[in-house]
Homo-oligomer: A and B are copies of this chain.
Amino acid sequence: MSTEKEKIKQTIMELYGELARLTNLPKSMGEVYSAIYLSEKPLCMDEIIDFLKISKGTASTTIRKLEELKAIKKVWVEGDRKNYYKISGSIPLLDSMFKRDMIISDACDTLNKIMDNPMDEETKKYAEKKLHGILVIKEISKKITESLKMYDNVDYEEVYRKLHQNSSKEKK
């Protein structure tokens, strides 16, 4: 393998390792995702174990979690009964950001409804003060999801095509 290819793989593996750490996910999540992302064909569990030198237990737990997060998906390989995996192509963590926005909005609605009920002055003052923080994270979450809406339900290639079209237009 060319040294340049090695360097590219190394850089991308380190990136996903760091991103997993920052997202409070185990290091193995970043490693297994990278291995599948960097492979030119779908990988089975044995290949992942062999490539990363991790235990079967870690590999199987990590694969299951990555499937749950919809970061990778099973693919069928002709003439082989083993499970093979490729990246799903959709943007990781996007789902959880939309979910977060929904949870915060729901809590805000609930809090606003409670505030409509009759309450003494002291409770009212307390409620308003505590609501500040929630309204702020609601606002921030809304800003994030608004800027991400265009990426929902599209995959890497589609997003890349869109970005590329935009930058070509800008150059003209």
Contact = CB atoms under 8 A, between A and B. Distances in A.
Interface of A: 2, 4-5, 7-8, 11-12, 14-15, 18-19, 22-25, 37-38, 40, 87, 91-92, 94, 96, 99-100, 103-104, 107, 110-111, 114, 117, 119-120, 123, 126-127, 130, 132-137, 139-140, 143-144, 146-148, 151, 156-157, 159-160, 163
B148 A144 contact: yes
Given A114-B4, A123-B4, A157 B140 contact: no
Nearest to A158: B136
B91 A11 contact: no
Interface of A is mostly: helix
Nearest to A37: B133
A119 B19 contact: no
A163 B139 contact: yes
Contacts of A148: 140, 143-144
A5 B132 contact: no
A18 B127 CA distance: 20
A134 B19 contact: no
Given A5-B123, A92-B137, A132-B157, 17 more contacts: A4-B117, A4-B123, A4-B127, A5-B119, A5-B126, A12-B134, A15-B104, A15-B134, A18-B103, A22-B96, A22-B103, A23-B24, A24-B25, A91-B136, A132-B160, A136-B160, A144-B148
Contacts of A14: 107
B12 A107 contact: yes
Contacts of A2: 119-120, 123
